[in-house]
Amino acid sequence: MKTLLVATTNPGKLAEIQEFLSDLPVRLVSLKDVGITAHVEETGKTFEENALLKATHYSKDSGLPTIADDGGLEIDALGGEPGVNSHRWIHKDREDKDEELIQHALFRLKDVPMENRGAQLHLVIAFATPKGKTYTSEGSIRGVIPFKDAPYRREGFPYRSLLYLPELKKFYNHDELTQEENTTYNHRKIAVEKLKPVILKELT
């Protein structure tokens, strides 16, 4: 059985990707599993550039085919902010804490009327092989940011406590959505599904 490296240190992301790829005949390992602690500087100007930077770096470092993603929140009224700065939106010298990001977004939007509070969570997943082949796919989920955040928190996913899905009348939050809704609407799953045929072709 071939091995696929999932290049993330976010336990929530890792759990989701493991779930979404559980039907593939591949063995999934994490950065911790292969003893990699080095951090890749995310210098790209887009989600795609950052995802490719991480996937290619860790694939070369580990000698394993690797997937990595990059994504964040894009708020219409703020011209797409925070975008690629979603984890360093407030403090440029360190990653912001989940609660800081939630409160900062609400503060920035405090005078924006409801009809202008559209936003989306958008991500790109990159798949890289040790031979230098690369592939990407993307997924997104649109909604609005209400004046008050969700009462639920899931570590590593602050913006899911902000994005409200009017068609479901629920926040895009793992604890609020049903299992079926989580499966149907998850933007990471959408991106992973697009990559599955390529992963299968390369690893089987």
DSSP 42: -
- Regarding the domain delimited by 2-203, which CATH topology (the fold level of the hierarchy) does it fall under? Maf protein (3.90.950)
Average model confidence (pLDDT) across the chain? 94
Q: What one-character-per-residue DSSP string does 86-102 give?
A: TTSSS-TTSPPPHHHHH
Residue 110 is predicted with a pLDDT of 96
Structure confidence by residue, pLDDT tens digits, 138-159: 999 999 999 999 998 988 899 9
Q: How far apart are CA 120 and CA 178, in angstroms?
A: 20
Among the listed residues 23, 69, 70, 96, the single catalytic one is: 70
Determine whether 96 is an active site residue: no
Side chain identity, residue 24 = L
> What's the length of the chain?
204
Side chain identity, residue 97 = K
Structure confidence by residue, pLDDT tens digits, 1-57: 899 999 998 888 888 899 999 999 999 999 999 999 988 988 999 999 999 999 999
**Sign (positive/negative) of CA torsion 169, 173, 179, 181?**
positive
User: End-to-end CA distance of the chain, in Å?
Assistant: 8
Residue 166 is predicted with a pLDDT of 97
